[in-house]
Structure 1
Amino acid sequence: MNVESLKLTCYFGERHRTDTGFVADELLALYARHRIAASIMLRGIDGFGLKHHLRSDHSLTLSEDLPAVTVAVDTRPRIDAVVDEVAGMPQVGLVTLERARLLQGDVGPVRLTEAPHEATKLTVYVGRQHRVRGVPAHVAVCELLHRQGVAGATVLLGVDGTVSGRRERARFIGRNSDVPMMIIAVGSGERIGRVLPELAALLDRPRITLERVRLCKRDGRLVEEPQALPATDARGLGLWQKLTIFTSEAARHDGQPIHRALVRRLRAGGSSGATTVRGIWGFHGDHRPHGDRLFQLGRRVPAVTVVIDTADRINRIFPIVDELTAEQGLVISELVPAVHARAGDRHRGGLRLADHRW
């Protein structure tokens, strides 16, 4: 199956509650009731929102309510069925809707066209304990992508989610075999399209999405600045922009990890919010796929920082991102056609999808 779909993403505090339970639990229960094809909950390690309250695992006092992210992908009717209920949760600080192509089951060659400096983002969902030819599935996928010359890939560990509509939640005691993991890769459309049949053959019941992005920086080199976007589309609906910065725990700026310096500089620079999630495995450029290893001094795991804001603010803060990734890192930008942001009684945006070609 290869269909146009929607990706619904929520950003909130891990300890945030509704009247009946934790926000994360309510969201995943909702996705399970509606049998959402693929969803995942990720725990963040650093971030802030509209209120500019910093949450970080770097400090005991700030780690009590870490950022959390849920991502849900399915056909438009299924996502439309849950959007209003999600947007109605006042404890969810930011909700975004993005267009994506969802591939499931038999996947043949896909031709992806793009302009210069643009790329394709490939997201693959696998289970924690799934194995391919004797190795963990996420390791096998990264090896394949690296071998085919894809620019980079990062593996993110989920703690809850849905798989083909069935909820899979991580438990303290148990194999957690089907609890989802998310592999995010970025590469040229030609390379991504060529690797898809082999990738699908590698996995049992593959769940894959494709999205168009702009490659802004690679290994410290500026490729292209984020695309220039108007404030609204032709109907007056707001257009938003997303920057995703792929770095590593081992990559430093003034003695601290780039992602931590980035969050603090963006907070001081007036950004509306940023969230960092730590990966467990991955690669960028020519470096071999790697992650945490026993008895290793210093963490070498990837880190992914996401910033969502209006195009004019992204334009103002991009020099900060450019400066902090002067020597390493992968940076992409994307159009976000619908955003609803909430901070107490303050609201921004809405969840009607804007239309704009870039």
Structure 2
Amino acid sequence: MARAVDRGPTVIDDCLKVTSYFGERLRVGRRFYSELLLDTFEEHDVSSSILLRATGGFGLRHHLRTDQTLTMSEDPSVMAVAVDTPSRMNVLLPRLAELQPRGMLTVERARVIRGDVAPTPATPEHHVETKLTIYIGRGERTARMPTHMALCDLLQQRGVAGASVLVGVDGTYHGERQRARFWDRNLDVPSMVLAVGPSERMDRVLPELGPLLRRPMVTVERVRVCKRDGQRLEGPYNLPDVDQDGLPLWQKLMVYTSESHLHEGEPVHRALARRLRQTQAAGVTSVRGVWGFHGDHPAHGDRLTQIGRRVPVVTVVVDSSRRIAASFEVIDELTTEHGLVTCEMVPAMQYFPAGDGGRGGLRLARHRF
């Protein structure tokens, strides 16, 4: 039976976030893997999940896909994100590893806040910067404006470094399956607002998010801001290849730019995919958003009166700790004027080369840093 979570007392739990990267036309037998994956999330009553269609990228075989080519229109890159308690996700993970024929799975730790949104208690690992992911329905409204715009306005007013709004095409919203349909308003199809900023500001803004949300669900993750508006602040984490138990450590870079941000006449996210492919990076996925802001720059998205696109684009790069530094140098070179670049530790990754069993693993590494 699907679970519905309405506003109530604050509930703060540890959770796991599982992300699957693959091509939209990937099949398992006669079925599309994306459909099978979302059916699995629904069967296991996963609290929140979202299927995002990418605008470009490449995977383990380094076949570059962009929305400028027919190949991309036939088989776009996609990513599916699912969040729930460790007990539920640990039951689900072996099933996901068994199902996925090709692509990549990552597992990350987070904390989830439901009900009346409140700051998370401080821990010994309390960090300097935080990433909030706010899960909402596509058609939710606050007063006279879409909720995602109201959230971005509030976050920018409170000095958050940046936020991007990504819209899904399928998923579960508080345990209920919600698919986008052509002749439907799709009000509850999942969307997510990704926001990055100093932890102390995030703690202050959290209680203000609740009144804007119909059914609050927010995840909190540790993050490092490496670049902001072309200024290099820090490099990626300096992590060993493995933890004390010999489990591999991975890292994820996220690059927040705009369709209008160019490098030598080419949108930055396309230049990134092309250049990182040349370095043999493990994989790159770029997802186009619908609204967002970075720093003091005005919030932006598509408008009927404008010529050209100004929507935000989020590019994700996942690789080994050893190789992530090389990817960051490419990103640093291509983001000399614009964008926000962050780094996160990924404690588990399993990848599935075509015709080969899965490599890596889904046991979560541990490393204090």
Q: If the TM-score is normalised by the length of the shorter chain, which range does it land in?
A: over 0.9
Distance, in Å, in 1 between the alignment partners of 2:21 and 2:248 is 19
Residue 61 of structure 1 aligns to a residue whose secondary structure is: helix
Distance, in Å, in 2 between the alignment partners of 1:35 and 1:346 is 28
RMSD: 1.5
Distance, in Å, in 2 between the alignment partners of 1:260 and 1:204 is 36
Task: Confirm or deny: 8 A CA contact 2:33 2:100 kept in the other structure.
Answer: no
The structure 2 residue matched to 1:119, chosen from 129, 132, 137, is 129
Task: Confirm or deny: 8 A CA contact 1:45 1:278 kept in the other structure.
Answer: yes
Q: 1:292: Cα distance to partner?
A: 0.3
Q: Which moves more between the two structures, 132-141 or 106-115?
A: 106-115
Paired position in structure 1 for 2:31: 21
Distance, in Å, in 1 between the alignment partners of 2:187 and 2:330 is 40
In the alignment, is residue 262 of structure 1 matched against residue 267 of structure 2? no
Distance, in Å, in 2 between the alignment partners of 1:205 and 1:336 is 28
Task: Confirm or deny: 8 A CA contact 2:12 2:120 kept in the other structure.
Answer: no
Task: Confirm or deny: 8 A CA contact 2:127 2:222 kept in the other structure.
Answer: no
Residue 363 of structure 2 aligns to a residue whose secondary structure is: coil
Q: 1:108: Cα distance to partner?
A: 2.3
The structure 1 residue matched to 2:344, chosen from 334, 349, 352, is 334
From the superposition, tell whether residues 193 and 233 of structure 1 become closer, same or farther in structure 2 (CA, over 3 Å): same
Q: 1:107: Cα distance to partner?
A: 2.2
Task: Confirm or deny: 8 A CA contact 1:95 1:341 kept in the other structure.
Answer: yes
Identity %, equivalent residues: 54
**Stretches of structure 2 lacking an aligned partner (at least 5 in a row):** 1-10
Paired position in structure 1 for 2:7: none
Distance, in Å, in 1 between the alignment partners of 2:315 and 2:327 is 14
1:72 corresponds to which letter in structure 2?
A
The structure 2 residue matched to 1:142, chosen from 152, 155, 177, is 152
Task: Confirm or deny: 8 A CA contact 2:127 2:199 kept in the other structure.
Answer: no
From the superposition, tell whether residues 346 and 321 of structure 1 become closer, same or farther in structure 2 (CA, over 3 Å): farther
Q: 1:264: Cα distance to partner?
A: 0.3
1:357 corresponds to which letter in structure 2?
R
Paired position in structure 2 for 1:357: 368
Distance, in Å, in 2 between the alignment partners of 1:114 and 1:213 is 15
Map 1:26-37; keep pairs closer than 5 Å.
Answer: 26-37=36-47
Paired position in structure 2 for 1:235: 245
Paired position in structure 2 for 1:158: 168
Task: Confirm or deny: 8 A CA contact 1:10 1:92 kept in the other structure.
Answer: no
2:366 corresponds to which letter in structure 1?
D
From the superposition, tell whether residues 306 and 341 of structure 1 become closer, same or farther in structure 2 (CA, over 3 Å): same
2:336 corresponds to which letter in structure 1?
A
Task: Confirm or deny: 8 A CA contact 1:110 1:196 kept in the other structure.
Answer: no
Q: Which moves more between the two structures, 50-59 or 227-236?
A: 50-59
Alignment deviations for residues 49-68 of structure 1 (CA, whole Å, 9 cap, x no partner): 11111111111234311100
Count of aligned pairs? 358
In the alignment, is residue 282 of structure 1 matched against residue 292 of structure 2? yes
Task: Confirm or deny: 8 A CA contact 2:62 2:280 kept in the other structure.
Answer: no
Paired position in structure 1 for 2:119: 109
In the alignment, is residue 305 of structure 1 matched against residue 312 of structure 2? no
Distance, in Å, in 1 between the alignment partners of 2:72 and 2:209 is 40
Distance, in Å, in 1 between the alignment partners of 2:13 and 2:110 is 9
Paired position in structure 2 for 1:133: 143
Give the TM-score taking structure 1 as reference length.
0.97
Residue 88 of structure 1 aligns to a residue whose secondary structure is: helix
Task: Confirm or deny: 8 A CA contact 1:151 1:187 kept in the other structure.
Answer: yes
